[in-house]
């Protein structure tokens, strides 16, 4: 989950995903058929138009599986029923390691009772158009879409890296820009679900973002990554999502795609490297390894006088 900032190169590979001893079917019928997903693990949950004064900054802790209001929801595995609220229940498996939870439903399963796999749990609440489905293993939320989890699931579409910028109090295109001093690099990226749902323009977060800055000789001077596809991110959302990030919205039956802007690590002091030409390469991956890379060239030109070390202070006169 944690970004690594430094001169060492970061391999452009997906992080190891949490494994399971078995796969399981979908919580709605048909169980053995994929259904549209309109929200994924670690999607940004930013409310309102003002990013920093928003009332909520959080990560999505499961999947939103699109389905009509009133559709029946079933247990993907056997276990003991616990009510999380009047519209959410959890089913803890007998192994006491894994718990599946189902949100935005009208529960019909009896609390405290043991249910079998494919037992009816409830019906999707009016106005929601989806069931929020989450999996917790060893007390950590994990991605149900990992291999060995929810099955079948197919994704052949690539993520999109739409723009790369640097940020001060506003966004500026990094392409052919000249940087000096301390800057913050950002990327706007998203993944488009393969199956169309009732939210046809909904987008989800990439599973992983990897970035590297290279000098003119091809040597890396900065590198890092965000892992957003394995477990629920433990970091502050504002450490990852940059201003302008907004979740998908559904107002008056009008679907509006979210805006997903990410910091590429912490602030970067360009005075730590030589003036000259550089390239930033950002690669976005989805949970099935599909990827898109974007390369942007820029220049570093710091004022030598501005970055020269200050002269030592003179010694005080002897008294």
Work out whether strand 208-215 and strand 182-190 pair parallel, antiparallel, or are unpaired. unpaired
User: In this structure, are residues 65 and 168 in contact, taking their beta carbons and an 8 Å threshold?
Assistant: no
The CATH number of 160-303, from 1.10.10.60, 3.20.20.10, 2.60.40.2550, 2.40.160.10, is 2.60.40.2550
Rounded distance between C-alpha atoms, residue 246 and residue 220, angstroms: 32
The CATH homologous superfamily to which domain 37-142 belongs is Glucose Permease (Domain IIA) (2.70.70.10)
Domains 37-142 and 160-303 share a fold: no
Provide the residue-wise pLDDT of the chain in tens; the chain has 319 residues: 433 433 333 333 434 444 444 699 999 999 999 999 999 999 998 765 556 655 678 999 999 999 999 999 999 999 999 999 999 999 999 888 999 999 999 999 999 999 999 999 999 999 999 999 999 999 999 999 999 999 999 999 999 999 999 998 889 999 999 999 999 999 999 999 999 887 878 899 999 999 999 999 999 999 999 999 999 999 999 999 998 898 888 765 667 888 999 999 999 999 999 999 999 999 999 999 999 999 999 999 998 755 445 555 544 333 3
Tell me the pTM. Answer: 0.87
């Amino acid at each position: 989950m944690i970004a690594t900032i430094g001169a060492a190169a970061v391999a452009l590979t997906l992080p190891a995903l949490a494994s399971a001893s078995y796969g399981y079917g979908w919580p709605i019928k048909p169980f053995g058929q994929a259904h549209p997903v309109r929200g994924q693990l670690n999607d940004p949950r930013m409310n309102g138009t003002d990013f920093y004064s928003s009332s909520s900054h959080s990560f999505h802790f499961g999947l939103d599986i699109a389905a009509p209001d009133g559709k029946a929801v079933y247990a993907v595995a056997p276990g003991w029923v616990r009510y999380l609220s009047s519209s959410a229940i959890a089913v803890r498996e007998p192994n006491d390691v894994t718990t599946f939870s189902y949100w935005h439903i009208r529960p019909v399963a009896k609390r405290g009772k043991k249910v079998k796999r494919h037992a009816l749990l409830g019906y999707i609440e009016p106005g929601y158009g989806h069931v929020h489905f989450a999996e917790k293993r060893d007390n950590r939320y994990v991605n149900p879409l990992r291999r060995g989890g929810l099955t079948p699931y197919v994704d052949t579409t690539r993520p999109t890296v739409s723009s790369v910028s640097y940020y001060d109090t506003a966004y500026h295109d990094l392409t052919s820009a000249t940087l000096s001093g301390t800057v913050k690099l950002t990327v706007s990226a998203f993944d488009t679900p393969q199956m169309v749902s009732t939210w046809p323009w909904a987008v989800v977060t990439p599973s992983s973002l990897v970035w590297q800055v290279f000098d003119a000789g091809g040597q890396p001077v900065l590198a890092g990554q965000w892992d957003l596809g394995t477990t629920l991110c433990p970091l502050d959302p504002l450490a990852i999502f940059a201003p302008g990030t907004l979740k998908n919205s559904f107002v008056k039956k009008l679907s509006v795609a979210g805006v997903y802007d990410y910091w590429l690590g912490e602030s970067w002091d360009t005075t730590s490297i030589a003036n000259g030409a550089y390239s930033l390469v950002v690669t976005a991956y989805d949970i099935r390894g599909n990827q898109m890379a974007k390369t942007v060239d820029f220049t570093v030109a710091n004022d030598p006088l501005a970055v020269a070390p200050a002269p030592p202070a003179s010694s005080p006169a002897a008294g």
